[in-house]
Structure 1
Amino acid sequence: MKPFALLRTGLTALALALPLVAAAQEATIRKNLADRVPGLADIDEVRKTPMNGLFEVRVGTEILYTDAEGNYLLHGNLLDTKTRKNLTEERVEKLTAIDFKDLQLKNAFTTVRGNGKRKLAVFADPNCGYCKRFEKDLAKINNVTVYTFLIPILGADSVTKSRQVWCSADKTKIWDDWMLREQAPKGEAACNTEALDANLAFARKYRITGTPTLVFENGSRVPGAINTQQLEELLAKR
């Protein structure tokens, strides 16, 4: 056989073998971690990192790192010193991003300020203290359209208040009265509140576990309250 033919044959064999090796390596990591670490029985993904010998272990949106045998486990940020990038942070941002087109806007109430050109979605609970703090900062932002998705996750009273807001004739006014001025919503909440159930289902699907959770037009997602300056900076990145 000619040298070039031998080389091609060797390269083909190597190409076929590599996926098998990678699969066996992943199986080893999964098995060892599941056997040794409570809570790691259901790993969503195992993949190589740019660092030799280091593997990413993903459970939901949580990122951990391990070696090829699953003997050691690291929790922290992986930094690229050449590019000065936080690889862990970038990975989490990608995993938690929500395409704005996937939002079910019919299940939110809309508030338009100024020209409304910039867009922001907010998942909120009416009894969330951080949400109230955030709403005060949000009220200072102009030229934005805000879609508020009610997700009552803090108890029975949150369900009641969410229904009262959703069933009111002027949702934005009732919401602002409560969140900004402590004027509690009233009424029988006698309307179709399937939107709230749909919002909770959406939150479960996308692992939205806290309020407020913000989704920007470019898909980036921020868990927790941020101030007016931070809001302006993120809205500018749309």
Structure 2
Amino acid sequence: MLKKALVLIIFTQSTFATPSPLPQPLKLITSQGGEIVDSFTAPAGVTGYIVDYRGKALTVYLSKNQQHIFTGKMLDATGRDMGQEVLEEYIRGPQSEKKWQTFSSSNWIIDGSEDAENVIYTFTDPNCPYCKRFWKDARPWVESGKVQIRHILVGILKADSYGKSAAILSAEDPTEALHQHEARDNSSLRPLKSPSEKVSAQLKENHFLMRSLGVSATPAIYYKDKTNAVKLHMGLPSASQLEQIIGLKEE
């Protein structure tokens, strides 16, 4: 099951000093793109590792004889998860910073004040009705200057989605073009048949990023919670969920 999942992982070079030579079971992970980012001592001679793949973190345990690995939770007699603290530290710290930097460096369209307290990233398809609804539901907070939404455009839902995303990115003012499209129920946006090399490259990078995160639908909304951990909300958020996303309500 682990091998099947890891086949789709996008390789990222680890900065963690893994054992040398690497035990064979761990090579199964790294050879298929998994990143071993930390280790910790577990009971009975077992060594625990934090593994990052497809933007998800999990614990992996290596047996004392270094011939077997297993994933999931390792509990002591009191029910305490031996790897939870290390896993959560990684999720709140290095993993979240790495994800946020990746989003920051991507091709996004700004919606809201540059001085907004909270920044949200979302994958948006111009033909996605739930993306349009999310855009409208977020208006009070965006227009108040409290929230900035950064739209990473993709084209996955319909045959003309790619062309419509290209048209928005090619506009003289992409922010205004996106605004006009999302604000209208019957948008007049026409797909661009022959986008420039620059716009084609931007969309290619956006699709690559989306796939590398294991996301296949829109809206896919990324935000930071109160602990600074990057969270993902798939689909249209409810009113209560939207308050959590923009930081007005505890999860």
| Shorter-chain TM band | 0.5 to 0.7
For the pair shown, the structure with the greater C-alpha radius of gyration is 1
Structure-2-length-normalised TM-score: 0.59
Aligned 1:150-169 pairs, distance under 5 A: 150-154=153-157, 156-169=159-172
Aligned to 1:123: 123
Aligned to 1:55: 48
Tell me if the contact between 2:243 and 2:249 (Cα under 8 Å) persists in the aligned partners. Answer: no
Q: Distance in 1 between matches of 2:86 and 2:50?
A: 14
Q: Distance in 2 between matches of 1:195 and 1:235?
A: 37
User: 1:75/1:146 Cα in 2 relative to 1: closer, same or farther (>3 Å)?
Assistant: same
Q: Which has the larger helix fraction?
A: 1
Q: Give the superposed CA RMSD.
A: 4.5
Say whether 1:183 aligns with 2:186.
yes
User: 1:193/1:59 Cα in 2 relative to 1: closer, same or farther (>3 Å)?
Assistant: same
Say whether 1:222 aligns with 2:231.
yes
Say whether 1:112 aligns with 2:115.
no
What one-letter code is carried by the residue in structure 2 that aligns with 1:56? Y
Q: Distance in 2 between matches of 1:137 and 1:228?
A: 8
Alignment deviations for residues 62-84 of structure 1 (CA, whole Å, 9 cap, x no partner): 424123335342235989959xx
Structure-1-length-normalised TM-score: 0.61
Aligned to 2:7: none
Aligned to 1:103: 104
Say whether 1:27 aligns with 2:31.
no
* Structure 2 segments unaligned to the other structure (5+ residues): 1-16
User: 1:167/1:48 Cα in 2 relative to 1: closer, same or farther (>3 Å)?
Assistant: closer
Task: Specify the SS of the correspondent of 2:140.
Answer: coil
Aligned 1:10-89 pairs, distance under 5 A: 22-24=19-21, 26-30=22-26, 34=28, 41-42=31-32, 43-45=34-36, 47-52=38-43, 53-56=46-49, 58=51, 60=53, 61-62=55-56, 63-68=58-63, 69-75=66-72, 81=80, 87-89=86-88
Moved runs in structure 1, 4+ residues, more than 6 A? 77-80
Give the % identical residues. Answer: 16
Task: Specify the SS of the correspondent of 2:160.
Answer: helix
- Equivalenced residue count is 209
What one-letter code is carried by the residue in structure 2 that aligns with 1:148? H
